[in-house]
Amino acid sequence: MATVKVLPSGTEFEATPGETLMGAAQARGLYWPTTCGGQGICTTCYSEITEDPGVLGEMSRYERKTLVAERGEGSLKRSARLACQATIMGAGTLVVTKQGVRAASEP
């Protein structure tokens, strides 16, 4: 089990191995900005991993291709991930910077 802290909102939730970052948030009643609904094509869920990126699995070729196509080569720094594609693989405390994450019931 991993703990995910989202900045700047301060939102915190638990995620289990095998869940995507965005999927884990949504399963716990949170809104995570997305346009494509988690298909990995829009980059709206683009997030910066600021602490403990080892909690996530390796970036897939598909995620890498989407990031380069939509955000350019500079987006491939280790801290940039698509929350809909980044899979929780281990335990720890993952700190993510992503604007707009909130309780799904909030406006």
pLDDT in tens, 2-46: 999 999 999 999 999 999 999 999 999 999 999 999 999 999 999
Would you identify the CATH topology of the domain 2-102?
Answer: Ubiquitin-like (UB roll) (3.10.20)
DSSP code for 15:
E
pLDDT at 107 over 80: no
Cβ contacts of 60 within 8 Å, gap of 6 or more:
85
pLDDT digit string, tens, across residues 38-88: 999 999 999 999 999 999 999 999 999 999 999 888 887 758 999 999 999
Which parts of the chain are beta strand (E)? 2-7, 11-15, 30-31, 46-51, 80-82, 92-97, 102-103
- Segments making up each domain of the chain, as ranges: 2-102
- Phi/psi region, residue 55 (left: phi>0; alpha: psi -120 to 50; beta: rest), is alpha
pTM: 0.92
Instruction: Assess whether the previous peptide bond of 33 is cis (omega < 30° from 0).
Output: no
